[in-house]
């Protein structure tokens, strides 16, 4: 089976959901006319990233009666969509979230579980922590979604892999930093290392949609990318510029790679569970907990 994946490498208007929604609908139209099956937007694509006190003003709920999601759900009749937004739950907590929409339904919502609150980041001040990591079934197989800092930690991709994800969709609004004499920023280099590593270690597809543009002095570096189960780069967007990048994923590559390299077959999950239980219950050693 083939999946034509489109990565929307977008800029957005900070805090203006209506304008960003209009841009989403126009890109959805373009991706659909170019034959995409699934279109992935970056982290917080409907709102912008450094929201601070704008957070409550831009929040919405991924439901058919929501004025932002109603047109997106309608558009998902043509192709599957992943959109980034601020989710307000029934108890009025705000989450950084991405929703997977398919054929008019919300198939899954992932709430960011790791909120960076250090250095230039202040997410923990404004957002609640997501508390769940689950893969889910789509028309193109089982998918796992993570948002930026989630995949800077090694465990969330691992858990999604064990939960059956063969296609990883990673969404970022990654501020560029770490200028040196190298041809790419330190942040870009680091992310592309680990994307390749996850694709290789989990013999899976890894797609990364990263935004572009500026917010005050922060730049967002783009370079959205897709790696195949061999860890090879099979498509990428430009750096720093808006783009809609289409990449064909031959899902049968999972079969071929895993026949050659049965890392999933041989993964000893019971051993992991036993050792994790031992480590976490060891009262004499609190290291790493």
Partner 1 sequence: MNASPDLSINTDLARRILTGFIKSEITRMGFTRAVINLSGGIDSALSCILAAEALGPENVLALRLPYKSSSPDSLEHARLVIDATGVRSLTIEITDMVDPLIAKFADMSQLRKANIMARMRMIVLYDQTAAFGGLAVGTGNKTEILLGYTTLYGDSACALNPIGDLYKTQVRQLSRAVGVPAAIIDKPPSADLWAGQTDEGELGYTYAEVDKLLYLLVDERYTPEECIEAGFAEGFVRSVVERVRRNQFKRVLPPVAKLSHRTIGYDFLYLRDWGT
Provide the pairing of β-strand 94-102 with 218-221.
unpaired
CB of 215 to partner 1, least distance (A): 5
- Smallest distance from partner 1 to CB 188, Å: 10
Active site residue 215: no
Stretch that binds partner 1, among 49-57, 77-85, 161-169, 275-283 (CB under 8 A): 49-57
E strand or H helix that includes residue 198: helix 186-201
The site that binds partner 1 (CB under 8 A) totals a number of residues, namely 23
| Residue 66 or 215 having the CB closest to partner 1 | 215
Under the criterion CB under 8 A, does residue 181 sit at the interface with partner 1? Answer: yes
**Which of residues 58 and 226 has its CB atom nearest to partner 1 in the complex?**
58
Residue 178 to residue 164: CA distance in whole angstroms: 35
Residue among 25, 30, 32, 54 that touches partner 1 (CB under 8 A):
54
Binding mask 187-216 for partner 1 (x = CB under 8 A): --------------------------xxxx
Binding mask 1-30 for partner 1 (x = CB under 8 A): ------------xxxx--------------
Strands of 131-211, DSSP E: 136-138, 141-147, 167-172, 205-210
Distance of CA 130 to the CA centre of its chain: 14
Tokens of 252: 């049968």
Mapped onto helix, strand or coil, the DSSP state of residue 231 is coil
Q: How far apart are CA 78 and CA 172, in angstroms?
A: 24
Q: Does 131 bind partner 1 (CB under 8 A)?
A: no
Residue closer to partner 1 by CB (options 217, 288) is 217
Q: Tokens standing for 197? A: 């590593």
- How open is the CA angle 88-94-95, to the nearest 5 degrees? 100
Active site residue 112: yes
Q: Give whichever of 215 and 250 is closer to partner 1, judged by the CB atom.
A: 215
Q: Which of 4, 32, 134, 219 binds partner 1 (CB under 8 A)?
A: 219
Both structure tokens of 76: 């998902």
Q: Which residues are paired to 148 by β-bridges? A: none
Taking the complex as a whole, how short is the minimal distance between the CB of residue 235 and partner 1, in angstroms?
22
Which among 158, 194, 168, 167 has a CA at the least distance from the CA of 268? 158
Q: Shortest approach of partner 1 to residue 16 CB, angstroms?
A: 6
Residue 231: how many other CB atoms lie within 10 Å? 18
DSSP 144: E
- At closest approach, how far in Å is the CB of 218 from partner 1? 9
Handedness of CA 35, 36, 42, 47 (dihedral sign): positive
Give the residue numbers marked as catalytic. Answer: 43, 112, 148
Binding site for partner 1 (CB under 8 A): 13-16, 50, 52-54, 176, 179-185, 213-217, 219, 240
């Amino acid at each position: 089976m083939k999946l034509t994946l489109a990565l929307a490498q977008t800029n957005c208007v900070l805090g203006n959901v209506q304008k960003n929604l209009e841009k989403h609908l126009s890109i959805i139209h373009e991706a659909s006319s170019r034959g995409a099956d699934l279109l992935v937007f970056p982290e917080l694509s409907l709102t912008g990233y450094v929201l601070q006190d704008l957070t409550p003003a831009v929040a919405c709920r991924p439901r058919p009666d929501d004025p932002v999601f109603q047109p997106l759900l309608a558009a998902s009749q043509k192709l599957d969509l992943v959109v980034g937004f601020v989710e307000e739950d029934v108890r009025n907590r705000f989450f950084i979230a991405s929703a997977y929409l398919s054929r008019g339904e919300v198939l899954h919502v992932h709430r960011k579980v790791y909120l960076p609150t250090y250095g230039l980041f202040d997410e923990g001040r404004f957002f609640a922590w997501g508390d769940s990591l689950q893969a889910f079934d789509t028309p193109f197989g089982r998918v796992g979604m993570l948002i930026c800092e989630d995949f800077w930690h090694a465990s969330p991709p691992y858990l999604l892999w064990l939960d059956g994800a063969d296609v990883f969709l990673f969404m970022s609004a990654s501020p560029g930093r770490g200028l040196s004499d190298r041809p790419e920023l330190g942040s870009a280099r680091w992310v592309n290392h680990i994307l390749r590593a996850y694709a290789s270690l989990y013999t899976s597809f890894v797609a990364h949609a990263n935004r572009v543009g500026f917010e005050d002095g922060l730049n967002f570096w783009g370079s959205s990318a897709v790696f195949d189960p061999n860890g090879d780069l099979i498509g990428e967007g430009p750096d720093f510029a808006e783009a809609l990048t289409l990449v064909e994923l031959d899902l049968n590559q999972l079969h071929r790679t895993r026949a050659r390299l049965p890392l999933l077959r041989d993964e000893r999950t019971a051993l992991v569970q036993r050792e994790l239980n031992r480590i976490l219950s060891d009262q004499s050693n609190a290291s790493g907990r």
